[in-house]
Amino acid sequence: MTLTNIILVVVSLALLVVLLRPKLLQLRLWRATVTPLASIIGSGFLVVGPILDHAAGSLAWLAMIILCAVAYLFGMAIRYNIMHLEPELKDSPLPLVAGIKRLSELALSFAYFVSVAYYLNLFAAFGLRIDGITDPFWIRVAATVAIGSIGLLGALGGLSGLERLEVGAVGLKLSLIGGLFVALIVASLIAVGAGDFQWAVSPGLGDTKDFQILLGLVILVQGFETSRYLGGKYSAEMRVRTMRLAQWISTGIYIVFILLITAYFQGGLRAVGGETAIIDMLRPLGTMVAPLIILTALASQLSAAVADMNGAAGLIAETTRRRVRVHMGNAITAVLAIVITWSADIYAIITYASKFFVAYYALQCLQAAYGAWRHKRHDHAVLYAAGIFVALGVVFFAIPANAAG
Which range of residues forms the domain containing residue 21? 3-111+155-290+346-399
pLDDT tens digits for range 289-317: 888 888 888 877 887 788 788 778 877 87
The phi and psi torsions of 270 (rounded to 5 degrees) equal -65, 145
pLDDT tens-digit profile of 329-338? 888 999 999 9
Number of domains composing the chain: 1
- pLDDT, one tens digit per residue, over 33-79 is 887 887 788 778 888 888 888 888 888 899 999 999 999 999 999 99
What digits encode the pLDDT tens for the residues 230-250? 777 788 899 999 999 999 999
Task: Kindly list the distances between the CA atom of residue 227 and the CA atoms of 35, 79, 252, 371, in Å, as whole numbers in the listed order.
Answer: 8, 9, 19, 19
Cα–Cα dist 327/330, whole Å: 5
**Mean pLDDT confidence for 76-87:** 88
Backbone torsion region of residue 27, taken as left when φ is above 0, otherwise alpha when ψ lies between -120 and 50, otherwise beta: beta
Instruction: Tell me, yes or no, whether 302 lies in a domain.
Output: no
Angle at 262 between CA 259 and CA 139, to 5 degrees: 115
260 found inside a domain: yes
Q: What single-letter amino acid sits at 399? A: I
Asked whether residue 126 is assigned to any structural domain, the reply reads no
- At 159, the pLDDT band (50, 70, 90 cuts) reads low
Q: What local confidence, expressed as pLDDT, does residue 245 receive?
A: 93
How is 326-390 classified by DSSP, letter by letter? HHHHHHHHHHHHHHHHHHS-HHHHHHHHHHHHHHHHHHHHHHHHHHHHHTT-HHHHHHHHHHHHH
Which is more confident, 194 or 211?
211
In a domain, 381, yes or no: yes
Higher pLDDT, 158 or 155: 155
Model confidence at 80: pLDDT above 70: yes
For residue 328, being part of any structural domain is answered with no
In a domain, 388, yes or no: yes
Over range 245-265, report the average pLDDT: 90
Q: Is there a domain that residue 281 lies in?
A: yes
Query: Is residue 143 in a domain?
Result: no
